Amino acid sequence: MKNKFSIILFVMAFLSGFWFACDKIDEPLTLTEHTEYPVINEDTNDVFFTDSVMITEKQVLLEDFTGHRCVNCPEAAFLAHEMALEYDHKLIIYAVHVGQLAEPLPGTIFSTDFRNETGTNLYNDFNLSSLGVPIGLINRQEFSGFLPLPSFIWEQAVSNEFDKPVQAKMKLKTKYFPEEGIVVVSTESEFTETLEGNYKLVVYLAEDSINAPQLNNNPEIGPDTLYNYYHRNVLRKALNTTYGEFLTPSGQVEPGIVYKKDYTFLPDQNWQLKNCRIIAYIGKQDEVFNLTEIVQVAEVGIKTN
């Protein structure tokens, strides 16, 4: 009799485990996004200034990892901007100051700190520390089996990317509200073909033409220390985190649908807003490298008057 009861108790205890296999939800709803922005009145333009681009052709992104104390970096930057001219500015570039050679040296002419959290994330996640600067990512696509590419093969890699078909169109618009001092970025993404995988939109802000010293070893560019060097498109901030956000809740996308996303931000007082650029791109989520296979990229300025 005792034996029977113990068996029943054991069975019931085992069975009750199934009831615990039940997730009790105390907070049914979680706030995942909260944005506030002024309503854009298209009829009046005396309050804000608009700048916009519409991209229907293939554009390519070059992420130039650099440092102000890196002697080989100006050459790579010049090469990149020459290529941009050649491709009629369809090659979008931003410079990311990372690593030891980007560290500021307080009390010297190299006391400026161009580094930021986003750049450091990219540097660490793509494991660039072992390679040193200058090094580039071109559309975050591998070329000849390499993902980070040294500058001498940028030309071939860029050309290779331009040969690929257009997979998405983008519209990018910035509005500056001088009274509130804020910038609203509106993006529209539309895929032109069916793509497998999950896609994200990333929006960065870069500041162009920052005058600050830079080391150099290419006599064609100038002396060893370039005191009045104009740093081009320096990455300043990610508006929606380093790897952006999914275009749809699942990340899966369909052709022909326009995915709209708006962002509002307050620019840093130290930035020259008129020199700032918004760079937005669409990339595929990759389990190892976070975001790879950039399918389209767009750049737009911010009109301040």
Partner 1 sequence: MKKNKVIVFQCIIIPLLFLKTTILFSQDFLSSGKVTGNTQIDAQYYSEDSKLGITDSSLNYKKFGMNGFANLIYTNGNFSAGARIEGFLNPMLGFDSRFEGIGVPYWFAKYKAGDLEMTAGHFYEQFGSGLILRSWEEWTLGYDNNIYGFNAHFSPYKGVMLKGLTGVQRYFWEPYENSNRGIVRGVDGNFFLNEMFGAMNESKTRIELGGSFVSKYEKVPQITYTNEMDSLAINAGDTVLWKIKKTYQLNLPYNVGSWAARANVALGGFNLYFEYAEKGNDPNATNSYIFKKGKAMYSTLSYSQKGLGIFLASKWIDNMSYKSKLSESGNPPMLDINYLPAISKEHQYSLATLYPYATQPNGEFGFQGQIIYTIPKNSTLGGKYGTTVSFNYSMARSIEKDTIISAVTGTQAGSDGYETKFFSVGDLTFYQDFNILLEKKVSSAFKFKAAFYNQEYNKHVIEDEIFDDKDIVKANIGVLDMTWKFDARNSLRMELQGLWTEEDDGDWAALMLEYNVSPKWFFAVQDEYNYGNPTEDKQVHYYNLSFGYTQESNRISLRYGRQRDGLLCVGGVCRYVPASTGLTLTITSSF
**Which residues bind to partner 1, rule: CB under 8 A?**
1, 4, 7-8, 11-12, 14-25, 27-39, 41, 47, 179-180, 249-250
Minimum CB–partner distance for residue 16 and partner 1 (Å)? 7
C-beta of 20 vs 152, nearer to partner 1 = 20
Say how far apart CA 71 and CA 154 lie, in whole Å. Answer: 18
Minimum CB–partner distance for residue 196 and partner 1 (Å)? 13
Within 10 angstroms of residue 217's Cβ, the number of other Cβ atoms is 13
Minimum CB–partner distance for residue 304 and partner 1 (Å)? 18
Minimum CB–partner distance for residue 249 and partner 1 (Å)? 4
Between the CA of residue 78 and those of 2, 115, 130, 136, 217, what are the distances in Å? 88, 20, 24, 13, 13
Q: Is 96 exposed, middle or buried (0-12, 13-18, 19+ CB in 10 A)?
A: buried
Asked whether the beta carbons of 83 and 91 are under 8 A apart, the reply is yes
Say how far apart CA 163 and CA 56 lie, in whole Å. Answer: 15
Minimum CB–partner distance for residue 262 and partner 1 (Å)? 8
Say how far apart CA 243 and CA 54 lie, in whole Å. Answer: 23
C-beta of 180 vs 286, nearer to partner 1 = 180
C-beta of 94 vs 176, nearer to partner 1 = 176
Say how far apart CA 17 and CA 15 lie, in whole Å. Answer: 5
C-beta of 41 vs 130, nearer to partner 1 = 41
C-beta of 94 vs 243, nearer to partner 1 = 243
Asked whether the beta carbons of 247 and 282 are under 8 A apart, the reply is yes
Between the CA of residue 255 and those of 141, 193, 258, 262, 270, what are the distances in Å? 22, 5, 8, 20, 41
Say how far apart CA 291 and CA 102 lie, in whole Å. Answer: 24
C-beta of 6 vs 211, nearer to partner 1 = 6
C-beta of 27 vs 220, nearer to partner 1 = 27
